[in-house]
Structure formats: structure tokens, C-alpha cells
Amino acid sequence: MRKSGILNQRILSATGSLGHTDGIVVCDAGLPIPLGVERIDLAVVRGVPRFLEVLEPLMAEIVVEKIILAEEMVTASPELYASIRKLAGSIAIEQVSHEELKRLTHSAKAIVRTGEFTPYANVILQSGVDFS
């Protein structure tokens, strides 16, 4: 048994398979998940688990070189956007249209679905490398 960090075996498998520039998505309960992309469905009921409760430990587990999110989040869910900005620190954040974000999910290694019901609570974490 792991002593700390993520315990979910499917998330660990997905993060372990990431290479440079690969993406993993953390999404709300409503984002359409393309056929052929691994779905890791954590949603239990409305609001459980919360988006940030999944995003934060996932970001601690992998090297993230860029976060991609929908530009609509900035105005529709400003508190969530502020939380992501804070969590990101010096990590670059790229804003795209929600339609473009949905298109980009087709090439993700996996999509982790939460029980979140906040509008536009969807991000793609682009994997980086740690050559330190």
C-alpha cells in the first residue's frame, strides 16, 4: 500500500504512462468524454468529489508544463479560475474556447471525471519533464 499521494490505481497507471506533452484531463460531471479515451470516473453524487480535490493531488503527482482551460471559465467561474491560477504558480496557463478544449480531449491519455457542477470546471494538464 502507498504511504501517501494518490491511491487510485487507474489514475496512477494513467500518470505513469505520460510522456512529454501528453495530456490528462480533469473534468466536471458534464464534459463529454470521447470514445477511445480512458475514462476514470470518480463521480459519486453531485459535488463529490470536487474538482479541486482531484486536481491538486494530481498536479502534485506529475510534472505539469502547461494547463489548458476554457476561456469561458474566467468569467463564468472566476473563483475556480483564481484557485487554479494559485495552484499553478509559475506553470503556464493557456486559454482556448470550450469547443477547442473538447476537441483537444480526443488526444488525452485519460480523462478523470469528478462530481463537480461548476461551469467549465475542465482542464488539460500537459505533461512536462523533470531533468533536474
Cell 504511504 belongs to which residue? Answer: 3
Q: Which of 7, 20, 97, 129 is catalytic?
A: 20
20 given a catalytic annotation: yes
Is the distance from CB of 29 to CB of 43 less than 8 angstroms?
yes
- Bridge partners of residue 67, in order along the sequence: 93, 125
In the three-class reduction of DSSP (H, G, I as helix; E, B as strand; rest coil), residue 89 is classed as coil
Return the amino acid letter for 65. Answer: E
- Fill in the DSSP letter of residue 48: B
Q: Which residues, including other chains, have CB under 8 Å from residue 76's CB and lie 6 or more apart? A: 119, 120
d(CA 97, CA 99): 5
Q: Which residues are catalytic?
A: 20
